[in-house]
Amino acid sequence: TQLLEQSPQFLSIQEGENLTVYCNSSSVFSSLQWYRQEPGEGPVLLVTVVTGGEVKKLKRLTFQFGDARKDSSLHITAAQPGDTGLYLCAGVFGGGSYIPTFGRGTSLIVHP
Amino acid sequence: KAGVTQTPRYLIKTRGQQVTLSCSPISGHRSVSWYQQTPGQGLQFLFEYFSETQRNKGNFPGRFSGRQFSNSRSEMNVSTLELGDSALYLCASSLGGTEKNTIYFGEGSWLTVV
């Protein structure tokens, strides 16, 4: 079973602070997605990365895909209360499988 | 473009009953997946349907079943409900079939078993 580890599990920060969330595996990802989920709602896709070393930016969010495609990070600059939510990474390991494996998520709370 | 639509959004059932949840995928998407989300286990894959055929299945008991119709709409059924089946059930759709496939989720159906 291929595992996908997310860290940290919980983050509680003040508005304006920066933060980074990590997603790691011992296996190579064919592609990786980051989602954000608010309480009681379904996950909303933020980004898909497929190329090793790829960097994508979405306003104050920066996503990096590791060169070896075994890890990814999400960095948020100057966090705002509206960033509060559960951040999930989901990786497809390839080898004929295209069902993504989800991490347990990082629960972020940004205090005003 | 309409997103993934799930119905009902909330429901309460009694232990031993059965429940059917419905999902309408994004137009043009032929793959529909179902996930169970609980605080303790996170997001767990139930099964995936593509062109009316179940292509992949997770590690859930046979009480969990699903089907897909010719218009790609999907339903999942849980029979003989147990308290532990209380969860958010998420449907996701995609074009399907590639390793760079991206799935898009609906808002989910909250099931409470009492």
pLDDT tens for each residue of B83-109: 999 999 999 998 876 656 788 999 999
pLDDT in tens, B34-72: 999 998 888 999 999 999 999 889 999 999 999 999 999
Q: Which pLDDT tens digits describe chain A residue by residue (112 residues)?
A: 567 899 999 999 999 999 999 999 988 988 899 999 998 889 999 999 999 999 999 999 999 999 999 999 999 999 999 999 999 999 988 777 778 889 999 999 999 9
Longest dimension (CA), chain B: 40
B25 touches chain A (CB under 8 A): no
Chain B segment 72-111 residues within 8 A of A by beta carbon are 88, 90, 96-108, 110
Query: What number of C-beta contacts closer than 8 Å exist between A and B?
Result: 59
Residues on chain A touching B33 (C-beta within 8 angstroms): 99
CA distances A11 to A86, B2, B63, B107, Å, are 10, 33, 37, 24
pLDDT in tens, A83-96: 999 999 999 887 77
3-state helix, strand, coil in chain A (%, to 5): 5, 55, 45
